[in-house]
Structure 1
Amino acid sequence: MKILTFSTLFPNGEKPGHGIFVETRLRHLVASGQVESRVVAPIPWFPSTHPRFGNWARFARAPRHEVRHGIQVAHPRYPVIPKVGMNLAPALLAQAAKPAIARLIDEGFDFDLIDAHYFYPDGVAAAMLGRYFNKPLVITARGSDITLFPQYALPRKMITWAAKRADAVITVCNALRDEVVALGVDADRVVSLRNGVDLHLFRPTERTPNAMFTLLAVGHLVPVKAQDLIIGALPLLPGVRLVLAGDGPDRAKLETLARELKVSDRVTFLGAVPQAQLREHYGAADALVLSSSREGWANVLLEAMACGTPVVASRVYGTPEVVASPDAGVLMGERSYQGVADAVNALRANYPDRGATRRYAERFSWDDTTDGQLRLFEQVLLRRAGKLALA
């Protein structure tokens, strides 16, 4: 089976952690030996690589073609237009990707199916491309693409159009499946296939007890991740420290909050940490805390558990499906300073055996997800072949 994976959420040489969850799922699918894939992962166009342009300059430095883990990846550029860009993004994305996809076909990779990730603008663009190249389409919903963008009228119309045009829709948790069905998509075409965890990469390490109970937060420092709630809980948690792994626009604000609350001496900012190095930080922590306002299926939860570290997490979307046992950790009663503190105290009062936490994570290998994808893709292709035969 030949598939074209299409998404702006895919790592590149300049941003190796960007969309790594899409790459990880694809790597396990290709490792089955039943799928051959090429990736088209468009990147925003920017004219300069000068460092003063920050993140945009990193996009400009990304390669146009690369091979990652044996998979060929193309990074065509697409224009991003300020202010009006959100409504035009799907069409601009599709138009930029057409030549790259046509080139793949000309070179002999006439794929059977488009495997698209993230509904807006990626999934909508993929629906346009599927119609243009006359290929079946499967779109994976991952979180804010379904929980946030449908709040805007025109994106909602386009997302609904794409979802109904797709041959099948995958969601990474049951809560997102309910949201997609609520858009009017036939429930029979929406399948929940949760993310897995790399149990070899993320595994327990030798550790020594911490002098202070250590919380770890992993993720971009952005408002949706709400690391401020964890810092705000520290005055209520004497003898507890926080380590933040990640970088982003909220860093200065979080540093200021820590100073104002007089807990700076108990907060450590690590900056961005490569995924391969996260295992040591998970293993050294006593608990991972995730206080997000939105999450589809948060990979960091399973990564921490696979290292034997239980979690404290907000009760949003797919998270209760991940944290479904005392061995896994504790869900917050509310997203507030007090809610974080209460959940941390509840975990400390009934702290699970770290071996049991690891065994819980072992239930979430990628095998079931890979098998589910293979079955779904085969069904889509058989249905398409049946329609062509009838025609």
Structure 2
Amino acid sequence: MTAFAATLMSEIRSRFAHVESCPFQGPRIFFENAGGALTLNSVVDTSARFAAIPDNQGRDNPAAHALMDTIARARADMATLFNPDGGQFFVGESGTELTFRLVRTAVMGTPVGAVIGSTVEHPASRSAATHWADQAQKPYISVPHDDATGAVTAEAYARCVTPEVRVATILHTSPVTGIANDVAAISTAIRATAPKAVIIVDGIQHASHGHIDIRSYDIDGYVISPYKAFARHGYGVAWVSDRLTALPLEQLAHGPTHNWEMGTRDTGAYATFSDVVAYLDWLGGQHSDSPDPRTRIEAAGRAIHGHEHSLTEAMLHGLGNLPGLADLPGVTILGGPHNPAREGLVTFALDTHAAADIVAALNAQGIRTHVRKADHYSGNILTPLGLEAAVRVSLCHYNSFDEVRAFLTAMKDITA
């Protein structure tokens, strides 16, 4: 695993808004990326440009034609990034809203049977699955995750899945621990027993940290929130298989069939996603000479993963003469200090300091982190560990070793 060279690091950071300062706080280091990543400057420009266009899609005029072309281009860019085998993309209110909609369609549209998911999941998929399973009077099967590693395994799914399973949900990466799950292996385990199950994946936390390869997963739905992947708030992106689309959909009477979108969508949302793909294409081009866009996207994913791995290792195990988080007395590292499935995120707790006090002390020094409490968002992870709260330090590939050094220096002072 290698980090970016200084020149490339500077080029990367120059492409994002508010890298070194907050418009409300002033100079700061941004380690709250799991709450929402930094936004590309190109996304800011694109949002403003499309917000000023009064025309609607679907009309017979030059502006409407241009809007439709923009959406078509964005969907092609989504295919380059997600690498599906068929299916379709559409946008919605948010990643959570889209996850609920996909799960609702799957649970309510499939025959009598069961729904399966895991205890590691974010409420976006967990709440959707349990709610609609109850509405459909389908039993919900809960697969336990491993508290020590913060992951759920294919073997755990295999022990719980039954032939009656009609719908399954999988979390790609945890926003609490940063630990990724093996989606392809879990999907294989599910289909070994329930081959016709509709499988839906929450990729919201994973999207900014590595490549997505739907073709290799054998799934039916994948959802992300673009504001966590360098775009902006206000929309989510979903991919659905043809098999999921063939189920009964909520649609306008006598309207187009197989249509997931209801009402006019924001063309600017689609356009900003093209900006994200263009950026990743550029970054991949710094690591690959291939003329193929997908190959460059894959190169970007490997480079991002390598840089973030180097940063989290430094954060955990020290940098120069600065001790890492794993060296602090009375520390608990969620997922363990040596976890190869970690993606750009370290969550920890100290016996000697309250999590909220640590976050406040870091914020006073211009370092933005976040408290995860044992509430409806994170209690499934924290409560089994006996933790009421923990500190989440989440980074992305535009973060630097200098920022990690400043964080470790601050932690040394806080714990002195």
Compute the TM-score of the two structures, normalised by the length of structure 2. 0.30
Higher helix fraction (1 or 2): 1
Compute the TM-score of the two structures, normalised by the length of structure 1. 0.32
